[in-house]
Structure 1
């Protein structure tokens, strides 16, 4: 394989800017086909993004001989079936986050990839972005000493700007998304925590629905004890007043702290009485750094940037926090 020729299953809102255009901007990568069950929308996407082929049937895209890798960008309900179908066709898969509806489905996807020896990557793309790599570098150098405690606060009002708007609002339908907005946003944050702090020893949490006009839990609290001894405490609430919105993670060490937003671009480091900030330019296509690593991995030139096993940890944490 000398070039990755991508086919996208589910060319919806997430692919418009975040990921889709990046496939043609990465070396030895090309977007050659897209699929959506609504053929008119698939055709419109292909025309606007200059994609040679479009389909309204996933079987046809997966079996297209010109397509040698699949990006699954549907809502989570379809992730497992499309991923396994593509893996069985011998085509490596890059699947959106959350990996699927729950940890059991994620395990089946991972087991299938391993059994068939076909490559599988999950789109926890923040771990490839410069800002979050900088945080990892700061932690690895023990700039703030030994990490003691991590506190995360994600407070948003209903229908927050962080979440893409769709007419069917599938993100708050647990049957389709696996839960509510927690399942849409928390995978970014929890993946970073395991990327930074390693293996999980224990996790627990609770979830509840405080708004009467939703089917999904809108408040989640979760705690993690890592094997390293680091303790994480997270709070997610999606029904606060607009003026109370917050997106903040603080890593406390024995010498100081590092604070950052998951959906922002400034890192703050405080040691003794000194404070320093690191600012990063917003990325045009937020998934491009991750796609570069995925392409290298599929071409045999790099390591898997986020494996099924990696993403399975995040799925288990979400289940631990939300299962009643």
Structure 2
């Protein structure tokens, strides 16, 4: 396989800028076809983005002989089914986060990858961005000494520019998304904990619907203990006032701390009261660095940038925090 010829299942909003255009901007990679159940919308996407083929049936795209890799960007409800079908067809899969509705589904996807001997990678794309690579380097260098604990506050008003919108508001429907807005944002944050600190040893939490509308919980708290002794505490609330909006991730060590916003572009390193800031340029297509790594992995020239095994760890934490 000298070139990855991609097919996208689910060419919705997430693929317009974040990911879709990147497939044609990477060496040995091209976007051949897209699929959406609404054929007119699939055609419109293909025409606007210069994609040669479009489908309204996922099976037809999966079995297109020109396509040799599949990107699944549907809501989480369809991730398991489409992933297993693509793997059975011998097509390696790059699937959006969260990996599935729950950890049990994610485990079945991993088992299918192993059964068919076909590669599977999960779109925890912050792992490939310079900002988070820098944080990991600082931790590896023990810039703040031995890490003691990490704490997260993700507090958002009902109307927030951090939270993606869609025509059907499917993110608020647990049957489609796995939960509420927590299931849309927390995969990024919890995967970073796995990326930075490895495997969690124990975890627990609780969630509830404080506002009392809809079917999704809007308040989640959770804690985890990692094998290396790092303790994590997280709070997610999606009904605060605009004045209390917060996106703060702190990592506290024996010599200092690292502060950053998961949805920002600045890292602050504080050692004995002395501050140093690292500011990173915005990335036009935020998934492009990850897609480049995935492409190289599918071509056999790189390791898996986020394996199913790693993604299952954050899925298990999410299930525990929300009592799934």
Structures share fold, TM-score greater than 0.5: yes
TM-score range for the pair, normalised by the shorter chain length: over 0.9
**Partner residue of 2:282?**
282
Question: What is the DSSP-based 3-state SS (H/G/I as helix, E as strand, rest coil) of the residue aligned with 2:136?
Answer: helix
Paired with 1:224 and 1:194, the residues of 2 have a C-alpha distance of 11
List alignment gaps of at least 5 residues for structure 2. Answer: none
Paired with 1:292 and 1:228, the residues of 2 have a C-alpha distance of 30
**Partner residue of 1:298?**
298
How much has 1:58 moved relative to structure 2? 0.5
**Partner residue of 1:2?**
2
Paired with 2:138 and 2:123, the residues of 1 have a C-alpha distance of 23
Q: How does 1:89-128 map to 2 (within 5 A)?
A: 89-128=89-128
- Which has the higher mean CA deviation after the structures are superposed, 254-263 or 152-161? 152-161
How much has 1:115 moved relative to structure 2? 1.3
How much has 1:150 moved relative to structure 2? 0.4
**Partner residue of 1:172?**
172
**Partner residue of 1:48?**
48
Q: Runs of 4+ in structure 1 displaced over 6 angstroms?
A: none
**Partner residue of 1:38?**
38
Per-residue CA deviation, residues 87-113 of structure 1 (Å, 9 max, x unaligned), is 000000000000000000000000000
Question: What is the DSSP-based 3-state SS (H/G/I as helix, E as strand, rest coil) of the residue aligned with 1:285?
Answer: coil
**Partner residue of 1:256?**
256
Per-residue CA deviation, residues 136-168 of structure 1 (Å, 9 max, x unaligned), is 000000000000010100000113211221121
**Partner residue of 1:230?**
230
Paired with 1:155 and 1:273, the residues of 2 have a C-alpha distance of 26
Paired with 1:159 and 1:100, the residues of 2 have a C-alpha distance of 26
Paired with 2:24 and 2:43, the residues of 1 have a C-alpha distance of 18
How much has 1:21 moved relative to structure 2? 0.1
Per-residue CA deviation, residues 24-74 of structure 1 (Å, 9 max, x unaligned), is 001100000000000000000000000000000001100000100000000
How much has 1:211 moved relative to structure 2? 1.1
Number of aligned residues: 324
**Partner residue of 2:141?**
141
Matched, 1:208 2:193: no
**Partner residue of 1:11?**
11
Question: What is the DSSP-based 3-state SS (H/G/I as helix, E as strand, rest coil) of the residue aligned with 1:99?
Answer: coil
Paired with 1:39 and 1:316, the residues of 2 have a C-alpha distance of 36
Paired with 1:275 and 1:212, the residues of 2 have a C-alpha distance of 42
Q: CA RMSD in A?
A: 0.6
